[in-house]
Structure 1
Amino acid sequence: MTRRAYSFVRTFAPGPARDLSVDRHYLLCASAGVLRLEAQDQAWLLPPARAALIEAGRPIRVSIPHPVTTASVLFDVGFTQAPRASLTVFDLSPLARALVTECGRWGESDEPLTTYAETLFAALAAVTWRLAEQPSPVVVPAGRSPELRRALRLTEQRLGSEVRFEDVAGEVGLAPRSLARRFEEETGMTWRAVLRRMRVLRAIEELAAGDTQVTKVAYTVGYTSLSAFNAAFRELTGRTPTQYRASFRP
Protein backbone atom coordinates (compact mmCIF):
# COMPACT_ATOMS: atom_id res chain seq x y z
CA MET A 1 0.00 0.00 0.00
CA THR A 2 1.50 3.33 -1.07
CA ARG A 3 1.92 6.08 1.50
CA ARG A 4 -1.03 8.43 2.03
CA ALA A 5 1.22 11.30 0.98
CA TYR A 6 4.62 11.33 -0.67
CA SER A 7 7.00 13.55 -2.62
CA PHE A 8 9.49 13.20 -5.43
CA VAL A 9 11.96 15.35 -7.37
CA ARG A 10 12.66 14.77 -11.07
CA THR A 11 14.60 16.54 -13.82
CA PHE A 12 13.24 16.73 -17.38
CA ALA A 13 14.74 17.84 -20.70
CA PRO A 14 12.74 20.22 -22.93
CA GLY A 15 9.90 18.43 -24.66
CA PRO A 16 6.51 18.78 -26.36
CA ALA A 17 3.20 18.96 -24.55
CA ARG A 18 1.84 15.78 -22.97
CA ASP A 19 -1.32 15.00 -21.08
CA LEU A 20 -1.19 14.21 -17.37
CA SER A 21 -3.79 12.95 -14.91
CA VAL A 22 -3.23 11.34 -11.50
CA ASP A 23 -5.56 9.75 -8.96
CA ARG A 24 -4.30 11.92 -6.07
CA HIS A 25 -4.43 15.62 -5.28
CA TYR A 26 -1.27 16.92 -6.88
CA LEU A 27 0.93 19.84 -5.78
CA LEU A 28 3.31 20.53 -8.68
CA CYS A 29 6.25 22.91 -8.32
CA ALA A 30 9.29 23.72 -10.45
CA SER A 31 12.37 23.92 -8.23
CA ALA A 32 14.51 25.01 -11.22
CA GLY A 33 13.45 26.06 -14.71
CA VAL A 34 9.85 26.52 -15.78
CA LEU A 35 6.82 24.44 -16.78
CA ARG A 36 3.85 25.36 -18.96
CA LEU A 37 0.40 24.12 -18.01
CA GLU A 38 -2.78 24.17 -20.06
CA ALA A 39 -6.27 23.27 -18.87
CA GLN A 40 -9.80 24.64 -18.95
CA ASP A 41 -9.01 26.80 -22.01
CA GLN A 42 -6.26 28.65 -20.15
CA ALA A 43 -2.47 28.49 -19.97
CA TRP A 44 -0.04 29.20 -17.11
CA LEU A 45 3.70 29.30 -16.54
CA LEU A 46 5.13 27.61 -13.47
CA PRO A 47 8.50 29.10 -12.42
CA PRO A 48 10.08 28.13 -9.07
CA ALA A 49 8.15 30.74 -7.08
CA ARG A 50 4.81 29.27 -8.12
CA ALA A 51 2.86 26.01 -7.70
CA ALA A 52 -0.14 24.31 -9.26
CA LEU A 53 -2.69 22.53 -7.07
CA ILE A 54 -4.53 19.95 -9.16
CA GLU A 55 -7.52 17.97 -7.97
CA ALA A 56 -7.31 14.18 -8.27
CA GLY A 57 -8.41 12.99 -11.70
CA ARG A 58 -8.21 16.43 -13.34
CA PRO A 59 -6.46 16.17 -16.74
CA ILE A 60 -3.91 18.84 -17.61
CA ARG A 61 -1.44 19.36 -20.46
CA VAL A 62 2.20 19.98 -19.53
CA SER A 63 5.02 21.20 -21.76
CA ILE A 64 8.67 21.91 -20.96
CA PRO A 65 10.23 24.81 -22.92
CA HIS A 66 13.54 24.67 -20.98
CA PRO A 67 15.25 22.05 -18.77
CA VAL A 68 13.32 21.83 -15.52
CA THR A 69 13.52 20.17 -12.13
CA THR A 70 10.16 19.54 -10.50
CA ALA A 71 9.26 18.94 -6.88
CA SER A 72 5.91 17.17 -6.65
CA VAL A 73 3.79 16.23 -3.66
CA LEU A 74 0.86 13.84 -3.98
CA PHE A 75 -1.89 13.49 -1.39
CA ASP A 76 -4.30 10.57 -1.16
CA VAL A 77 -7.90 11.80 -1.49
CA GLY A 78 -8.52 10.54 2.05
CA PHE A 79 -5.54 12.40 3.52
CA THR A 80 -6.94 15.89 3.06
CA GLN A 81 -10.02 17.62 1.70
CA ALA A 82 -10.40 18.26 -2.02
CA PRO A 83 -9.15 21.65 -3.27
CA ARG A 84 -11.83 24.31 -3.77
CA ALA A 85 -11.00 24.50 -7.48
CA SER A 86 -10.01 21.65 -9.79
CA LEU A 87 -6.85 23.53 -10.80
CA THR A 88 -5.28 26.61 -9.25
CA VAL A 89 -1.91 28.24 -9.91
CA PHE A 90 -0.58 30.45 -7.12
CA ASP A 91 2.59 31.96 -5.65
CA LEU A 92 4.37 29.95 -2.96
CA SER A 93 5.22 31.57 0.35
CA PRO A 94 8.66 30.97 1.94
CA LEU A 95 6.96 28.68 4.50
CA ALA A 96 5.34 26.61 1.75
CA ARG A 97 8.63 26.28 -0.10
CA ALA A 98 10.39 25.15 3.07
CA LEU A 99 7.68 22.55 3.70
CA VAL A 100 7.92 21.25 0.12
CA THR A 101 11.67 20.81 0.62
CA GLU A 102 11.26 19.05 3.96
CA CYS A 103 8.55 16.72 2.63
CA GLY A 104 10.97 15.70 -0.12
CA ARG A 105 12.54 13.28 2.36
CA TRP A 106 9.53 10.94 2.02
CA GLY A 107 9.15 9.37 -1.41
CA GLU A 108 6.74 6.74 -2.68
CA SER A 109 6.92 3.65 -0.47
CA ASP A 110 4.83 0.91 1.11
CA GLU A 111 6.13 1.94 4.53
CA PRO A 112 3.73 4.21 6.46
CA LEU A 113 4.67 7.79 7.25
CA THR A 114 6.07 8.58 10.66
CA THR A 115 4.02 10.81 12.93
CA TYR A 116 6.45 13.65 12.20
CA ALA A 117 6.07 13.16 8.43
CA GLU A 118 2.25 13.01 8.67
CA THR A 119 2.35 16.32 10.53
CA LEU A 120 4.60 17.90 7.88
CA PHE A 121 2.43 16.79 4.96
CA ALA A 122 -0.70 17.94 6.79
CA ALA A 123 0.92 21.33 7.42
CA LEU A 124 1.92 21.60 3.76
CA ALA A 125 -1.63 20.80 2.66
CA ALA A 126 -3.08 23.38 5.07
CA VAL A 127 -0.69 26.11 3.91
CA THR A 128 -0.96 25.47 0.15
CA TRP A 129 -4.73 24.94 0.19
CA ARG A 130 -4.98 28.37 1.83
CA LEU A 131 -2.58 29.98 -0.64
CA ALA A 132 -4.62 28.54 -3.51
CA GLU A 133 -7.49 30.79 -2.44
CA GLN A 134 -5.53 33.63 -4.09
CA PRO A 135 -4.81 32.45 -7.67
CA SER A 136 -2.04 34.00 -9.74
CA PRO A 137 -3.23 36.58 -12.30
CA VAL A 138 -0.48 35.58 -14.73
CA VAL A 139 -2.63 33.44 -17.02
CA VAL A 140 -3.56 33.63 -20.69
CA PRO A 141 -6.55 32.05 -22.44
CA ALA A 142 -5.88 29.04 -24.65
CA GLY A 143 -8.93 29.53 -26.87
CA ARG A 144 -11.65 27.10 -27.94
CA SER A 145 -12.12 27.46 -31.71
CA PRO A 146 -9.40 26.32 -34.17
CA GLU A 147 -9.13 29.85 -35.59
CA LEU A 148 -8.51 31.47 -32.23
CA ARG A 149 -6.06 28.79 -31.10
CA ARG A 150 -4.11 29.33 -34.32
CA ALA A 151 -4.22 33.10 -33.83
CA LEU A 152 -2.82 32.63 -30.32
CA ARG A 153 -0.04 30.38 -31.60
CA LEU A 154 0.92 32.85 -34.33
CA THR A 155 0.93 35.72 -31.85
CA GLU A 156 3.13 33.81 -29.43
CA GLN A 157 5.58 32.82 -32.16
CA ARG A 158 6.11 36.48 -33.07
CA LEU A 159 6.47 38.09 -29.66
CA GLY A 160 10.07 39.12 -30.30
CA SER A 161 9.21 41.05 -33.46
CA GLU A 162 6.59 43.54 -34.57
CA VAL A 163 3.36 41.55 -34.70
CA ARG A 164 0.31 43.05 -36.41
CA PHE A 165 -3.24 42.02 -35.64
CA GLU A 166 -4.28 42.41 -39.29
CA ASP A 167 -1.56 39.97 -40.39
CA VAL A 168 -2.63 37.39 -37.81
CA ALA A 169 -6.28 37.72 -38.86
CA GLY A 170 -5.36 37.25 -42.53
CA GLU A 171 -3.36 34.09 -41.78
CA VAL A 172 -6.21 32.45 -39.87
CA GLY A 173 -8.68 33.34 -42.62
CA LEU A 174 -10.82 35.85 -40.72
CA ALA A 175 -11.50 39.55 -41.14
CA PRO A 176 -9.90 41.61 -38.35
CA ARG A 177 -13.34 42.54 -37.03
CA SER A 178 -14.39 38.87 -36.90
CA LEU A 179 -11.19 37.82 -35.13
CA ALA A 180 -11.55 40.69 -32.65
CA ARG A 181 -15.06 39.46 -31.86
CA ARG A 182 -13.70 35.93 -31.43
CA PHE A 183 -11.17 37.19 -28.87
CA GLU A 184 -13.88 38.99 -26.89
CA GLU A 185 -16.27 36.02 -26.96
CA GLU A 186 -13.77 33.25 -26.18
CA THR A 187 -11.30 35.00 -23.88
CA GLY A 188 -13.08 38.07 -22.52
CA MET A 189 -9.98 40.05 -23.55
CA THR A 190 -8.80 42.06 -26.53
CA TRP A 191 -5.98 40.76 -28.71
CA ARG A 192 -3.78 43.59 -27.44
CA ALA A 193 -4.37 42.57 -23.81
CA VAL A 194 -3.59 38.93 -24.65
CA LEU A 195 -0.39 40.02 -26.43
CA ARG A 196 0.68 41.98 -23.35
CA ARG A 197 0.10 38.96 -21.11
CA MET A 198 1.95 36.65 -23.47
CA ARG A 199 4.94 38.98 -23.40
CA VAL A 200 4.98 39.03 -19.61
CA LEU A 201 4.67 35.23 -19.51
CA ARG A 202 7.58 34.84 -21.94
CA ALA A 203 9.58 37.29 -19.82
CA ILE A 204 8.90 35.19 -16.71
CA GLU A 205 10.12 32.16 -18.66
CA GLU A 206 13.34 33.96 -19.59
CA LEU A 207 13.88 35.34 -16.08
CA ALA A 208 13.50 31.87 -14.56
CA ALA A 209 15.73 30.19 -17.15
CA GLY A 210 18.93 32.08 -16.35
CA ASP A 211 20.63 35.37 -15.55
CA THR A 212 19.94 37.29 -18.76
CA GLN A 213 19.85 41.05 -18.12
CA VAL A 214 16.36 42.47 -17.67
CA THR A 215 16.90 44.92 -20.54
CA LYS A 216 17.73 42.07 -22.91
CA VAL A 217 14.69 40.11 -21.72
CA ALA A 218 12.51 43.14 -22.46
CA TYR A 219 13.80 43.34 -26.05
CA THR A 220 13.53 39.56 -26.48
CA VAL A 221 9.79 39.62 -25.73
CA GLY A 222 9.09 42.55 -28.05
CA TYR A 223 9.44 45.71 -25.95
CA THR A 224 11.56 48.58 -27.27
CA SER A 225 11.25 50.56 -24.02
CA LEU A 226 12.45 49.25 -20.66
CA SER A 227 10.05 51.55 -18.81
CA ALA A 228 7.07 50.21 -20.80
CA PHE A 229 8.20 46.65 -20.08
CA ASN A 230 8.57 47.34 -16.36
CA ALA A 231 5.14 49.00 -16.23
CA ALA A 232 3.41 46.08 -18.01
CA PHE A 233 5.22 43.55 -15.83
CA ARG A 234 4.34 45.33 -12.59
CA GLU A 235 0.72 45.80 -13.66
CA LEU A 236 0.25 42.05 -14.06
CA THR A 237 2.47 40.63 -11.30
CA GLY A 238 2.58 43.45 -8.76
CA ARG A 239 6.40 43.40 -8.87
CA THR A 240 9.23 44.59 -11.09
CA PRO A 241 11.07 41.99 -13.23
CA THR A 242 14.07 42.20 -10.87
CA GLN A 243 11.89 41.64 -7.79
CA TYR A 244 10.08 38.78 -9.51
CA ARG A 245 13.34 37.06 -10.47
CA ALA A 246 14.57 37.42 -6.86
CA SER A 247 11.47 35.54 -5.70
CA PHE A 248 12.57 32.50 -7.78
CA ARG A 249 15.77 32.17 -5.81
CA PRO A 250 15.88 30.41 -2.43
Structure 2
Amino acid sequence: MSRPAYSFVRTFPAEPERELCVDRHYLLCASAGVLRLEADGQAWLLPPARAALIQAGRPIRVSIPQPVTTASVLFDAGFVPAPPAALAVFDLNRLAGALLAECGAWGPSEEPLPAYAETLFAALAAVCWRLAEHPSPIVVPAGRSPELRKALRLTEQRLGGRARFEEIAEDVGLTARSLARRFEDETGMTWRAALRRMRILAAVEKLADENVPVTAIAFDVGYNSLSAFNAAFRELTGRTPTEYRLSFRP
Protein backbone atom coordinates (compact mmCIF):
# COMPACT_ATOMS: atom_id res chain seq x y z
CA MET A 1 0.00 0.00 0.00
CA SER A 2 1.49 3.35 -1.01
CA ARG A 3 1.91 6.20 1.43
CA PRO A 4 -1.06 8.53 1.99
CA ALA A 5 1.28 11.47 1.27
CA TYR A 6 4.85 11.87 0.05
CA SER A 7 7.24 14.60 -1.05
CA PHE A 8 9.81 14.99 -3.82
CA VAL A 9 12.02 17.66 -5.42
CA ARG A 10 12.60 17.90 -9.18
CA THR A 11 14.19 20.21 -11.71
CA PHE A 12 12.46 20.60 -15.09
CA PRO A 13 13.81 22.15 -18.32
CA ALA A 14 11.80 24.72 -20.26
CA GLU A 15 8.81 22.97 -21.85
CA PRO A 16 5.88 23.97 -24.08
CA GLU A 17 2.32 23.80 -22.78
CA ARG A 18 0.97 20.35 -21.90
CA GLU A 19 -1.89 18.85 -19.91
CA LEU A 20 -1.31 17.64 -16.36
CA CYS A 21 -3.76 15.44 -14.45
CA VAL A 22 -2.88 13.36 -11.38
CA ASP A 23 -4.89 11.01 -9.19
CA ARG A 24 -3.81 12.73 -5.95
CA HIS A 25 -4.17 16.27 -4.65
CA TYR A 26 -0.99 18.02 -5.76
CA LEU A 27 0.84 20.72 -3.80
CA LEU A 28 3.40 22.22 -6.17
CA CYS A 29 5.93 24.76 -4.87
CA ALA A 30 8.49 26.63 -6.97
CA SER A 31 11.90 27.28 -5.41
CA ALA A 32 13.60 28.59 -8.58
CA GLY A 33 12.23 29.52 -11.99
CA VAL A 34 8.63 30.00 -13.05
CA LEU A 35 5.68 27.86 -14.21
CA ARG A 36 2.48 28.90 -15.96
CA LEU A 37 -0.69 27.10 -14.97
CA GLU A 38 -4.16 27.27 -16.50
CA ALA A 39 -7.53 25.94 -15.36
CA ASP A 40 -11.18 26.97 -15.56
CA GLY A 41 -10.49 29.79 -18.01
CA GLN A 42 -7.80 31.48 -15.91
CA ALA A 43 -4.01 31.51 -16.16
CA TRP A 44 -1.73 31.75 -13.14
CA LEU A 45 1.99 32.31 -12.75
CA LEU A 46 3.90 30.28 -10.16
CA PRO A 47 7.11 32.14 -9.26
CA PRO A 48 9.52 31.20 -6.42
CA ALA A 49 8.19 30.99 -2.84
CA ARG A 50 4.66 30.44 -4.14
CA ALA A 51 2.57 27.29 -4.18
CA ALA A 52 -0.14 25.83 -6.37
CA LEU A 53 -2.78 23.46 -5.05
CA ILE A 54 -4.33 21.22 -7.71
CA GLN A 55 -7.33 18.97 -7.15
CA ALA A 56 -6.98 15.26 -7.89
CA GLY A 57 -8.42 14.25 -11.24
CA ARG A 58 -8.78 17.84 -12.49
CA PRO A 59 -6.78 18.47 -15.69
CA ILE A 60 -4.82 21.71 -15.91
CA ARG A 61 -2.48 23.15 -18.54
CA VAL A 62 1.18 23.64 -17.59
CA SER A 63 4.03 25.37 -19.42
CA ILE A 64 7.58 26.06 -18.23
CA PRO A 65 8.99 29.22 -19.85
CA GLN A 66 12.35 28.83 -18.07
CA PRO A 67 14.02 25.97 -16.13
CA VAL A 68 12.35 25.46 -12.77
CA THR A 69 13.00 23.58 -9.53
CA THR A 70 9.97 22.47 -7.56
CA ALA A 71 9.22 20.84 -4.23
CA SER A 72 6.00 18.85 -4.43
CA VAL A 73 3.72 16.89 -2.15
CA LEU A 74 1.08 14.43 -3.33
CA PHE A 75 -1.82 13.69 -0.97
CA ASP A 76 -4.14 10.71 -1.27
CA ALA A 77 -7.73 11.90 -1.73
CA GLY A 78 -8.79 9.79 1.24
CA PHE A 79 -6.16 11.32 3.52
CA VAL A 80 -7.16 14.98 3.17
CA PRO A 81 -10.32 16.83 2.08
CA ALA A 82 -10.70 18.17 -1.46
CA PRO A 83 -9.01 21.55 -2.03
CA PRO A 84 -11.29 24.60 -2.28
CA ALA A 85 -10.77 24.97 -6.06
CA ALA A 86 -9.49 23.02 -9.05
CA LEU A 87 -6.40 25.21 -9.01
CA ALA A 88 -5.26 27.92 -6.61
CA VAL A 89 -1.92 29.75 -6.45
CA PHE A 90 -0.96 31.42 -3.18
CA ASP A 91 1.96 32.76 -1.13
CA LEU A 92 3.62 30.32 1.26
CA ASN A 93 3.89 31.58 4.82
CA ARG A 94 6.70 30.65 7.21
CA LEU A 95 4.74 27.83 8.81
CA ALA A 96 3.90 26.24 5.46
CA GLY A 97 7.52 26.57 4.34
CA ALA A 98 8.82 24.94 7.50
CA LEU A 99 6.33 22.07 7.26
CA LEU A 100 7.14 21.55 3.57
CA ALA A 101 10.85 21.33 4.37
CA GLU A 102 10.25 18.86 7.21
CA CYS A 103 8.02 16.67 5.00
CA GLY A 104 10.83 16.45 2.45
CA ALA A 105 12.30 13.52 4.37
CA TRP A 106 9.53 11.19 3.16
CA GLY A 107 9.47 10.42 -0.54
CA PRO A 108 7.45 7.86 -2.54
CA SER A 109 7.70 4.42 -1.00
CA GLU A 110 5.67 1.32 -0.17
CA GLU A 111 6.85 1.64 3.42
CA PRO A 112 4.18 3.10 5.75
CA LEU A 113 4.64 6.58 7.12
CA PRO A 114 5.51 6.88 10.80
CA ALA A 115 2.88 8.60 12.94
CA TYR A 116 5.09 11.70 13.22
CA ALA A 117 5.25 12.05 9.42
CA GLU A 118 1.50 11.58 9.01
CA THR A 119 0.96 14.36 11.53
CA LEU A 120 3.32 16.65 9.62
CA PHE A 121 1.67 16.00 6.26
CA ALA A 122 -1.78 16.54 7.77
CA ALA A 123 -0.62 19.82 9.31
CA LEU A 124 0.89 20.94 5.99
CA ALA A 125 -2.40 20.21 4.22
CA ALA A 126 -4.41 22.10 6.86
CA VAL A 127 -2.21 25.20 6.49
CA CYS A 128 -2.06 25.15 2.67
CA TRP A 129 -5.76 24.39 2.23
CA ARG A 130 -6.50 27.50 4.28
CA LEU A 131 -3.98 29.62 2.34
CA ALA A 132 -5.60 28.44 -0.91
CA GLU A 133 -8.84 30.13 0.15
CA HIS A 134 -7.05 33.45 -0.51
CA PRO A 135 -5.33 32.97 -3.89
CA SER A 136 -2.82 35.30 -5.48
CA PRO A 137 -4.21 38.21 -7.54
CA ILE A 138 -1.61 37.48 -10.25
CA VAL A 139 -4.10 35.81 -12.57
CA VAL A 140 -5.33 36.63 -16.06
CA PRO A 141 -8.22 35.24 -18.11
CA ALA A 142 -7.33 32.45 -20.52
CA GLY A 143 -10.47 32.70 -22.67
CA ARG A 144 -12.79 29.97 -23.89
CA SER A 145 -13.37 30.71 -27.57
CA PRO A 146 -10.58 30.32 -30.16
CA GLU A 147 -10.94 34.00 -31.12
CA LEU A 148 -10.44 35.27 -27.58
CA ARG A 149 -7.57 32.90 -26.88
CA LYS A 150 -5.88 34.16 -30.04
CA ALA A 151 -6.55 37.78 -29.04
CA LEU A 152 -4.95 37.15 -25.65
CA ARG A 153 -1.98 35.44 -27.28
CA LEU A 154 -1.46 38.35 -29.67
CA THR A 155 -1.78 40.84 -26.82
CA GLU A 156 0.91 39.00 -24.87
CA GLN A 157 3.21 38.98 -27.89
CA ARG A 158 2.86 42.75 -28.25
CA LEU A 159 3.25 43.82 -24.62
CA GLY A 160 6.62 45.41 -25.19
CA GLY A 161 5.42 47.42 -28.19
CA ARG A 162 2.20 49.31 -28.74
CA ALA A 163 -0.58 46.78 -28.42
CA ARG A 164 -3.60 48.22 -30.26
CA PHE A 165 -7.04 46.76 -29.67
CA GLU A 166 -8.36 47.54 -33.17
CA GLU A 167 -5.39 45.79 -34.81
CA ILE A 168 -5.81 42.72 -32.62
CA ALA A 169 -9.53 42.55 -33.42
CA GLU A 170 -8.73 42.70 -37.13
CA ASP A 171 -6.08 39.97 -36.77
CA VAL A 172 -8.55 37.58 -35.11
CA GLY A 173 -11.26 38.33 -37.70
CA LEU A 174 -13.69 40.25 -35.46
CA THR A 175 -14.84 43.83 -35.28
CA ALA A 176 -13.56 45.80 -32.30
CA ARG A 177 -17.09 45.85 -30.90
CA SER A 178 -17.50 42.08 -31.20
CA LEU A 179 -14.12 41.41 -29.58
CA ALA A 180 -14.92 43.82 -26.75
CA ARG A 181 -18.13 41.87 -26.13
CA ARG A 182 -16.15 38.61 -26.07
CA PHE A 183 -13.86 40.02 -23.39
CA GLU A 184 -16.82 41.08 -21.24
CA ASP A 185 -18.68 37.79 -21.71
CA GLU A 186 -15.76 35.40 -21.29
CA THR A 187 -13.51 37.21 -18.81
CA GLY A 188 -15.69 39.75 -17.04
CA MET A 189 -13.16 42.49 -17.81
CA THR A 190 -12.21 44.84 -20.61
CA TRP A 191 -9.30 44.26 -22.95
CA ARG A 192 -7.41 47.13 -21.32
CA ALA A 193 -7.85 45.59 -17.85
CA ALA A 194 -6.63 42.25 -19.22
CA LEU A 195 -3.66 44.03 -20.83
CA ARG A 196 -2.66 45.56 -17.47
CA ARG A 197 -2.81 42.17 -15.78
CA MET A 198 -0.81 40.51 -18.56
CA ARG A 199 1.89 43.16 -18.23
CA ILE A 200 2.17 42.52 -14.50
CA LEU A 201 2.17 38.75 -15.07
CA ALA A 202 5.01 39.13 -17.58
CA ALA A 203 6.86 41.36 -15.12
CA VAL A 204 6.60 38.77 -12.34
CA GLU A 205 8.07 36.17 -14.71
CA LYS A 206 11.01 38.45 -15.50
CA LEU A 207 11.52 39.39 -11.84
CA ALA A 208 12.38 35.74 -11.14
CA ASP A 209 15.70 36.44 -12.90
CA GLU A 210 17.55 38.60 -10.36
CA ASN A 211 20.06 39.73 -12.99
CA VAL A 212 17.47 41.79 -14.90
CA PRO A 213 17.04 45.36 -13.55
CA VAL A 214 13.54 46.46 -12.59
CA THR A 215 13.76 49.44 -14.95
CA ALA A 216 14.51 47.16 -17.91
CA ILE A 217 11.55 44.96 -16.98
CA ALA A 218 9.24 47.99 -16.86
CA PHE A 219 10.11 48.94 -20.44
CA ASP A 220 10.09 45.32 -21.65
CA VAL A 221 6.45 44.86 -20.59
CA GLY A 222 5.27 48.11 -22.14
CA TYR A 223 5.56 50.87 -19.53
CA ASN A 224 7.10 54.21 -20.49
CA SER A 225 8.19 55.12 -16.98
CA LEU A 226 9.31 53.33 -13.84
CA SER A 227 6.84 55.28 -11.70
CA ALA A 228 3.87 54.15 -13.82
CA PHE A 229 5.10 50.56 -13.66
CA ASN A 230 5.57 50.69 -9.88
CA ALA A 231 2.09 52.15 -9.39
CA ALA A 232 0.41 49.50 -11.57
CA PHE A 233 2.37 46.69 -9.95
CA ARG A 234 1.54 47.85 -6.42
CA GLU A 235 -2.14 48.30 -7.30
CA LEU A 236 -2.45 44.62 -8.26
CA THR A 237 -0.03 42.94 -5.84
CA GLY A 238 0.14 45.33 -2.88
CA ARG A 239 3.95 45.50 -3.25
CA THR A 240 6.51 47.27 -5.38
CA PRO A 241 8.38 45.15 -7.96
CA THR A 242 11.50 45.22 -5.77
CA GLU A 243 9.55 44.08 -2.70
CA TYR A 244 7.92 41.33 -4.74
CA ARG A 245 11.30 40.13 -6.00
CA LEU A 246 12.64 40.01 -2.43
CA SER A 247 9.69 37.81 -1.46
CA PHE A 248 10.98 35.12 -3.84
CA ARG A 249 13.53 34.21 -1.18
CA PRO A 250 11.85 31.73 1.17
- Answer whether TM exceeds 0.5 for this pair: yes
Matches within 5 A, 1:115-154: 115-154=115-154
Matches within 5 A, 1:194-205: 194-205=194-205
Bigger mean CA deviation after superposition, 178-187 or 91-100:
91-100
Name the amino acid aligned to 1:218: A
**Deviation at 1:73?**
0.4
Q: Deviations over 1:42-74 (max 9, x none)?
A: 100001122111111111110000010011101
Amino acid in structure 1 at the alignment position of 2:120: L
The aligned counterpart of 1:66 is 66
- Tell me the SS of whatever aligns to 1:16: strand
Matches within 5 A, 1:141-180: 141-180=141-180
Q: Does structure 2 retain, via aligned residues, the 8 Å contact 1:214–1:241?
A: yes
1:212-231 matched pairs, under 5 angstroms: 212-231=212-231
Contact 1:8 1:107 in 2 (8 A): yes
- Alignment correspondent of 2:206: 206
**CA shift at 1:80, angstroms?**
1.2
In structure 1, the residue corresponding to 2:36 is in which secondary structure? strand
Partner of 2:208: helix, strand, or coil? helix
Aligned to 1:46: 46
Structure 2-normalised TM-score? 0.97
The one-letter code matched in structure 1 to 2:247 is S
CA distance in 2, matches of 1:221, 1:45: 15
After superposing the two structures, state which structure 1 stretch, 77-86 or 3-12, moved more. 77-86
User: Contact 1:4/1:75 (CA < 8 Å) preserved in 2?
Assistant: yes
How far the C-alpha of 1:84 sits from its partner, in A, is 2.1
Return the offset for 1:82. Answer: 1.2
Q: Where does 1:87-126 land on structure 2 (aligned, <5 Å)?
A: 87-126=87-126
Q: How large is the RMSD of aligned CA atoms in angstroms?
A: 1.0
5+ residue gaps, structure 2: none
Distance 2:211 2:93 in 1: 22
CA contact (8 A) 1:34 1:209 kept: no
Contact 1:9 1:72 in 2 (8 A): yes
Report if the CA contact (8 A) 1:27-1:72 is conserved: yes
Which amino acid in the other structure matches residue 45 of structure 2? L
TM-score, length of structure 1 as denominator length: 0.97
CA distance in 2, matches of 1:139, 1:52: 12
Residue 22 of structure 2 aligns to which amino acid in structure 1?
V
Could you say what secondary structure the match of 1:31 adopts?
strand
Q: 2:241 corresponds to which residue?
A: 241
Which stretch shows the higher mean deviation, 20-29 or 207-216?
207-216
Distance 2:116 2:213 in 1: 43
Aligned mates of 2:98, 2:245 — CA distance in 1: 18
**Contact persistence 1:11–1:67 (CA under 8 A):** yes
Q: Is the 8 A contact 2:39 2:86 kept in 1?
A: no
Further displaced range: 210-219 or 152-161? 210-219
Structure 1 distance, partners of 2:238, 2:179, is: 30
Once residues 123 and 28 of structure 2 are traced to their aligned partners in structure 1, the CA distance between those partners, rounded to angstroms, is 16
Count of residues paired in the alignment: 250
Identity of aligned residues (%): 76
Alpha carbons 1:66, 1:209 under 8 Å: kept: no
TM-aligned CA deviation for residue 104 of structure 1: 1.3
Structure 2 match to 1:189 = 189
Runs of 4+ in structure 1 deviating by more than 4 angstroms, as ranges, are none
Equivalent residue number for residue 232 of structure 1: 232
Structure 1 residue matching 2:99: 3-state secondary structure = helix
Task: Give the equivalent residue in structure 1 for 2:15.
Answer: 15
SS at 1:248's partner residue?
Answer: coil
The offset of 1:211, in angstroms, is 2.7
